[in-house]
Amino acid sequence: MSRPISIIRSLDWFTIALYLVLVILGLAAIYGAVYNFEDTALWDFSKRYGKQLVWIGLSFVIATVLLMLDSRIYSSFAYFIYGASVFLLIVTVVFAPEIKGSRSWLVLGPVNIQPAEFAKAATCLAVAKFMSSYGFKMTNIKDILRLCAIIFLPVALIFLQDEAGLATVYFVLLLVLYREGMPGIILFLVFCVVVFCIVAIKFGDVAIIPAYPNEAFGLLLVMIMSMAVQLVFLQVYPKDFLTARNLLIGTLVIFGIVSALYFLFHIPVRFTLVGYLTIALSIVYLLVTGFLRRKWAYVGIASFLIGSLALANVTEYVFDNMLRPHQQNRIKATFGMIDDAKGVEYNVKQSVIAIGSGGFSGKGFLNGTQTKLKYVPEHDTDFIFCTVGEEHGFIGTMTVLALFLILLLRLLYLAERQRSPFSRIYGYCVVAILFYHFAINIGMVIGLTPVIGIPLPFFSYGGSSLWGFTILLFIFLRLDASRKEYLKT
pLDDT in tens, the chain (489 residues): 444 457 788 889 999 999 999 999 999 888 888 777 666 666 666 778 888 899 999 999 999 999 999 888 999 999 999 999 999 999 998 888 877 767 888 887 777 889 999 999 999 999 999 999 888 888 788 888 899 899 999 999 998 888 888 888 998 998 888 888 777 777 777 777 777 777 677 665 543 333 334 445 445 555 555 555 555 555 444 455 455 556 666 666 766 776 676 666 665 555 556 666 666 777 777 777 777 777 766 777 777 777 777 776 777 777 777 777 767 776 776 666 666 656 566 777 888 888 888 888 888 887 777 766 667 777 778 888 888 888 888 999 999 999 999 999 999 999 999 988 999 999 999 999 999 999 999 988 888 888 888 899 999 988 899 999 999 999 999 999 888 775 554
Residues 316 and 398 in one domain: no
Are both 38 and 117 inside the same structural domain? yes
Residue 164 located in a structural domain: yes
Same structural domain for residues 357 and 413? yes
> Is residue 348 located within the same domain as residue 245?
no
pLDDT number for residue 489: 46
> What is the domain extent for residue 296?
210-323
Q: Closest Cα to residue 479, out of 77, 11, 59?
A: 11
Query: For residue 313, what are the contacts with CB-CB under 8 A and spacing of at least 6?
Result: 200
Q: Is residue 198 part of a domain?
A: no
Please say whether the beta carbons of 482 and 10 come within 8 A: yes
Domains: count for the chain = 2
Q: Are residues 380 and 261 in the same domain?
A: no
Global confidence as pTM: 0.81
Residues 132 and 214 in one domain: no
Kind of pairing between the strands at 106-108 and 111-113: antiparallel
Residue/partner pairs of 430-436 with CB below 8 Å, 24 or more apart = 430/124, 430/472, 430/473, 430/476, 432/172, 432/173, 432/175, 432/176, 433/120, 433/124, 433/169, 433/172, 433/173, 433/472, 434/404, 434/407, 434/408, 434/469, 434/472, 434/473, 435/172, 435/408, 436/169, 436/172
- Which of 272, 303, 323 terminates a domain? The answer is 323
Same domain, 160 and 65: yes
Under a CB-based contact definition with an 8 Å cutoff, are residues 26 and 384 in contact?
yes
129 shares a domain with 31: yes
The torsion defined by the Cα of 106, 456, 351 and 326, in degrees rounded to 10, comes to -40
Give pLDDT, residue 436: 94
Q: Are 63 and 11 in contact (CB under 8 A)?
A: no
Final residue belonging to a domain, choices 277, 301, 323: 323
In a domain, 388, yes or no: yes
Q: Are both 215 and 184 inside the same structural domain?
A: no
Residue of 398, 426, 396 whose CA lies nearest to 414: 426
Same domain, 105 and 144: yes
Last residue of a domain, one of 323, 342, 371: 323
Residue 2 in any domain: the answer is: no
Q: Does 16 share its domain with 162? A: yes
Q: Is residue 74 part of a domain?
A: yes
User: Does 145 lie in the same domain as 99?
Assistant: yes
